[in-house]
Structure 1
Amino acid sequence: MENLELLEKRLGYKFKNRQYLIEALTHKSYNKPYNNERLEFIGDSIVNFAITMYLYKYFPDSDEGSLSKLRSSLVSQAGLYKIAEYLSIGRYILISDAEDRNQGRYKKSLLADSVEAIIAAIYLDSGENISIVQNVITSIYNAVFPNISLDTIFKDFKTTLQEITQSRFGVIPEYRVLSTSGPDHNKTFEIGVYIENRLYAVSTGKSKKNAEQQAAEIAIQKLDNEN
């Protein structure tokens, strides 16, 4: 395993019990009696809470809907993967030879899950001190996303929704034309977005593209409320 002191330096946190960190870096494919899945379970909730507080503090004038959508993007698989790249997690994870040959060190889902596990490891190692974890997460996110903007980060709601559904359900959303109305030169499209064959949102627009984007935005909000 690579020198964990370098990872601790990047994290801005030195472990008192490094076994927590080792477990957080251990994939289920590795031949050990433990892996990082339980830590990932804890870390998912901690990251969501920490980012919620982070956004509440740094965007005091933004409404709940905007903050929810921004949070969904930052804690999505794509957002966590960027954190993993910053921390060079792929160098440190413990995976089987077969998983290694299968490019496991570069898999976005595997690396994103490892980030959540590491955050949980810090939480437990610090004596469940959420303030310490909050400081670590804030520092890392400030480094990785120095110019977070509510005006630009959600230009493509369809991409954001796909990242969320792939991370949470392992599937991509499906867009279906539910109805059309109006003359050929001025049609209105009604689009539904389905996740695992369940209708999550419906929207209308003067083009399929616009209606799909609006439906994706609604679906993101609904998924965030369910989480």
Structure 2
Amino acid sequence: MIKAQSKLSEARLASRIGYQFKQPELLQLALTHRSVSHKYNYERLEFLGDSLLGMIIANYLYKAYPTENEGRLTRMRATLVRQEALGKIANDLKLSQSLILSTGELKSGGHHRESILADTVESIIGAIYVDCSDLTVLEPIVLKWYEPYLDHIEPTDQLKDPKSRLQEYLQARKKALPVYDVVDIQGDAPNQHFKVECKVDGLSVVMGEGTSRRFAEQAAAADILKLLEQ
């Protein structure tokens, strides 16, 4: 009965993703957080998916905005591949229901953590590519996920990453700039996981996580911006 329910859950997820895996174990791997296993987890697939996603979005923007310069296209791509955007796609795909986490990570709310959900979207992209080895199959799937958001992206100078936006927000109000401190690094390069604290005067310390110091800092800055916007 449990196996039957598991297969049904996998089938529903595959339907939401829009792809039927020839190797179902790849989907399982793409959903497995490093808290479950340091060797059998989604991080290698995430590494691959991150690069593939960047290329797919860059190709789309290049064709969709033929008159825009490189700087604006770069900011538009950054907006579409940042953690917040990936978190929205993860929610659309209802990935939180399918994440494979350790008991401790589950209890701490990991299945709703935006950084984990964003990483999982990238790992699924990597898994699809490994399964089919065909970009012409992968690209329309990814762009279908992005369909609700592509019409709302505007080629303006306002499309900046969270760290840049936070710095500008604080500078405009003549406040001290944020301080970022690495508090934990797990794993060995290139499969490392960073935790970074972001401190802003007058606010609680916020923790960001990511597969690089830069990604962890961006995640922390994004959370600080949310606090400031409340």
TM-score range, shorter chain: 0.5 to 0.7
Match among 144, 147, 163 for residue 142 of structure 1: 147
Give runs of ≥4 in structure 1 deviating > 6 Å: 174-177, 188-195
Match among 133, 137, 145 for residue 132 of structure 1: 137
SS at match of 2:22: coil
* Same amino acid, percent of matched pairs: 34
1:161 alignment counterpart: 162
Note the 1:93-112 alignment, pairs <5 A: 93-112=99-118
Note the 1:69-218 alignment, pairs <5 A: 69-126=75-132, 128-151=133-156, 155=158, 157=160, 160-162=161-163
- Return the TM-score normalized by structure 2: 0.66
Structure 1 contact 175–193 (Cα < 8 Å) conserved: no
Gaps of 5+ in 2: 1-5, 182-217, 219-230
Residue 156 (structure 1) shift: 6.7
- Return the TM-score normalized by structure 1: 0.67
Structure 1 contact 77–163 (Cα < 8 Å) conserved: no
CA distance in 1, matches of 2:110, 2:173: 41
Task: Give deviations 1:24-74, integer Å, cap 9, x for gaps.
Answer: 000011158500011111111011001101111222222211111000011
CA distance in 2, matches of 1:114, 1:129: 20
Change (3 A) 1:136 1:30: same
Change (3 A) 1:77 1:189: closer
Instruction: Please identify the structure whose Cα radius of gyration is greater.
Output: 1
Change (3 A) 1:24 1:163: farther
Change (3 A) 1:60 1:115: same
SS at match of 1:141: helix
1:203 alignment counterpart: none
Task: Give deviations 1:121-160, integer Å, cap 9, x for gaps.
Answer: 000000x211111111111111344433224xx6474xx3
Task: Give deviations 1:155-174, integer Å, cap 9, x for gaps.
Answer: 474xx33399xxxxxxx759
Change (3 A) 1:163 1:27: farther
Match among 24, 27, 33 for residue 33 of structure 2: 27
1:46 alignment counterpart: 52
Gaps of 5+ in 1: 165-171, 178-187, 198-222
Task: Give deviations 1:71-116, integer Å, cap 9, x for gaps.
Answer: 0011111111111111111110100111011000110101100110
